[in-house]
A and B are shown apart, each in its own frame.
Chain A
Amino acid sequence: MPVFAALADATRLRLLKRLSGEGSLSITRLSEGAGVTRQAITRHLYALGHAGLVRHRRKGREQIWDLDMKRLEKARQYLDQVAAQWDAAALRLKAFVEE
């Protein structure tokens, strides 16, 4: 799932927020008080994993999940770069037509 589409869901955003604030968390912990089934949480986490936003590892019998900040930052940086390109292009157009 493309990263930006992965963010367009309230449950997934909450999961990311929790991982951001609390660090590594197990599915058990992430499911607590989420108002959503553990199965659904697991599905959302794998979706976020496919988008490259989170990673998981095994710790004993639990699966522990972490935020993958690098990927998210790269996605943000990419959009910023494209935006900057358009800023520069707009200035060139301005110079071109306003002479």
Chain B
Amino acid sequence: MMATQEASSTDRIEKRVELRAPRARVWRAISDSQQFAAWFGIRLDGPFAEGSTVKGSITSKGYEHFKVEFQVQKIEAERYFAYRWHPYPSDPKVDYSTEPTTLVEFTLEEADGGCVLTIVESGFDQIPIARRAEAFRNNDGGWTGQVKNITKYVA
């Protein structure tokens, strides 16, 4: 089943993914940094461990110079994996290390026929708007940006 958007809020994004695979299999795909990197579309230069920082870069063509840095927060076997990072690295010349990070949390539960993964990224309220505007300018296609007017925001 496709990921569905839940709990709309201005500070967070939440996705719920139903997977027809054993929980242990999905856990490995998330907690093993090399497996994670393979499906996520990045290169990572070390394993995930609580308190560690793992660096890497994006593997998508044309974006190879964009760096990523995962600050691993918590690992609870087969249940929960959380890291902090700077979302949307968009300019390799800019040092984002002083900017606020967002928190990404993977929560895994068993379900009929497989398991359910909930992905939450939160902390967007702290990201300066100028950075967000810049990130949008640098992203060149693949997304259908939807302009929502203010009445939907305030209704």
Contacts and interface: CB of A to CB of B under 8 A. Distances in A.
B136 interface: yes
Contacts, number: 132
A62 B64 CA distance: 52
Contact of B132 (A75, A83, A85, A93): A75
Contact of A20 (B10, B29, B132, B150): B150
Contacts of A96: 29, 35, 38-39
Chain A interface size band reads 35 or more
B40 A89 contact: yes
A1 B130 CA distance: 12
Chain B interface size band reads 35 or more
The 6 closest A-B pairs by CB, nearest first: A4-B10, A96-B39, A78-B132, A97-B21, A90-B3, A77-B145
Interface of A: 2-5, 7-8, 13, 16-17, 20, 51-52, 67, 69, 71-87, 89-98
Interface of B: 2-3, 5, 10-11, 13, 15, 17, 19-21, 25-26, 29-30, 35, 38-41, 87-88, 117, 119, 121, 124-130, 132-133, 135-136, 139, 142-151, 153-154
